[in-house]
Amino acid sequence: MEQTTDFLVIGSGIAGLSFALKAARLGSVTLITKKARVDTATNLAQGGIAAVLSADDSFEAHVRDTLTSGAGLCHEDVVRMVVENGPARVRELMALGIEFQHDSRNAGHLDLGREGGHSARRIAHAMDLTGKQIEEGLLRRVAENPKITVLENHVAVDLLIGSKAGVRATHPFLDRCLGAYVLNRQGNTIETWLARVTTVCTGGAGKVYLYTTNPDIATGDGIAMAWRAGARVGNLEFVQFHPTCLFHPKTKNFLISEAVRGEGGRLIDERGNSFMQKYDPLGDLATRDKVARAIDLEMKASGDDCVYLDISHQPAEFLKTRFPTIYQTCLSLGIDITREPIPVVPAAHYMCGGVLTDIMGRTSIENLYALGETACTGLHGGNRLASNSLLEAVVFADQAARQCAEEWPRLKSQHYHPVTAWRAGKAQRIDEAVLISHNWDQIRRLMWNYVGIVRKEKRLGLVKERLAAILAEVDQHYRDYLLTPDLVELRNIAQVSELIVRCALIRKESRGLHYILDYPRPDDRHWKKDTIISKR
């Protein structure tokens, strides 16, 4: 079945929703999401959105903090553009009805938080439910817009590329994106969606790892699809591990916000000893890469299963008001954060690399944009500064919408080119779930054990060999069996895992989030540059 739309948006997080609202001023928008529209990383974001919103702060300070966190790989022009556009984008969210916490002592001013790596209070938040507030607010606006259609339970399978349909791009060295093949879970049918502009904003790839703070949807779909289509990807070795994921057998993926340390939380070992001052002058407010690595070293040295985050010295009422979700979740598990420390471990949290884009969100494939965690924009470099992710999403959604508006006369004049409908051929229904689950589990354990916080070249070589065999098997499943959402996701995490390992093997130094024992120091002379790879 062939469908057409002006804009095809793949993903329903803050980036996709923000772009959809602005693209709807130009034409029709179809937004597809592989589960429910609220199943996004945005919905789980606790901390907030970083922007210069106080007279005590400055663009220069925010730029400097971002560059320092990024370990020498941030693109300064991109950093300045994002930082300088930040306040306007936050005010835009507020105008859409999204409520951030206001300062009860200073009428008309926001209650700004501070997190690791920031030199000032600049985090606009809605207590520890910021992402949920933003997601719900944007979804309300999208639902009110008659030009936007949201299709839940629609899984993007592959991008449609012009060269495979006999269509040339405007530039002789580019290919053109025509839309995507989409698996409709209802009826398990493959639909062909043709679009003038396709935007991938499917989030990150945390489910590549055994332990992650990410939702189950985070299987690197946008990165894998763009790679298969021939787009350039970059900096995939820089996977951010959040230092403080709740360690408890009855829960998974629950993040203890960086804002807890920003409000005075201290990391301690099982014996109650504070340890962060040994690793960084900023102590508990060091950047995420340093804190995660410090925790990893402490756990390996002591043999303990976790460390602890203690904020019990703060007034109980303050903690209940500032962190209501964290307080209630921990309490339901028998942990009273007003009286005792919280057991925490690092977990895979954020992909700093992704599909390479320019400053307008355009990829190396014509009419294909990448936004949010799916993209590698040049903002984060080797390590993302806390709460710059939501900021990047709204700023680049605006950039992409502006670019589409500028190009709209050309885009609108382009015809929808017919493409070959999906052919199942002699594919059979997959009747043994173990074919999926075994490879899925094997990939995630390999990545956790061999491509985690601390790496070694020999281990990377071993996992590359094992992933090659798994990729071959998954590719055979893709040809032999009718597609299911699980098979689509398995194919994507296998591909993204291989790309992470490939990038990690290329970089012969330790920088930011990539720490490799064979090359323990940064090498500015040879490696102060992005890792960029392409099928071409």
The residues assigned a catalytic role are 288
* Cα(23)–Cα(7) distance, integer angstroms: 7
Nearest to 247 by CA among 235, 255, 239: 255
The closest alpha carbon to 166, from 418, 534, 423, belongs to 418
Q: Phi, psi (5° rounding) for residue 52?
A: -80, 100
The DSSP secondary-structure symbol of 284 reads: G
Pairing mode, strands 189-200 and 2-10:
parallel
Dist CA 345 CA 349 (whole Å): 12
Helix ranges (DSSP H) in 37-186? 59-69, 76-95, 130-144
* Listed residue (395, 398, 389, 475) closest to 439, CA to CA: 475
Sign of CA dihedral 74, 76, 77, 79: positive
Q: What single letter denotes the amino acid at residue 24? A: A
Is 352 in contact with 482 (CB distance < 8 Å)? no
Q: Are 117 and 389 in contact (CB under 8 A)?
A: no
Q: How far apart are CA 42 and CA 130, in angstroms?
A: 9
Return the DSSP state at 314.
S
Give CA–CA dist 73/83, Å, rounded: 16
Torsion of CA 300, 305, 309, 312, to 10 degrees: -140
Nearest CA-CA partner of 123 in 268, 285, 9: 285
Residue 174, SS3? coil
- To the nearest 10°, the Cα dihedral for 521, 527, 532, 535? -90
DSSP state of 38: T
**Residue of 426, 440, 448 whose CA lies nearest to 486:** 440
Q: Are 270 and 241 in contact (CB under 8 A)?
A: no
Which H/E stretch holds residue 413? Answer: helix 388-413
Q: What are phi and psi of 512, to 5 degrees?
A: 55, -125
Q: What 8-state DSSP symbol labels residue 443?
A: H
| Helix, strand, coil share of the chain (percent; to 5) | 40, 20, 40
For 201-254, what is the HEC assignment? CCCCCHHHCCCECCCCCCCCHHHHHHHHHCCCEECCCCEEEEEEEECCCCCCCC
- 253: phi > 0 → left, psi -120 to 50 → alpha, else beta; which? left
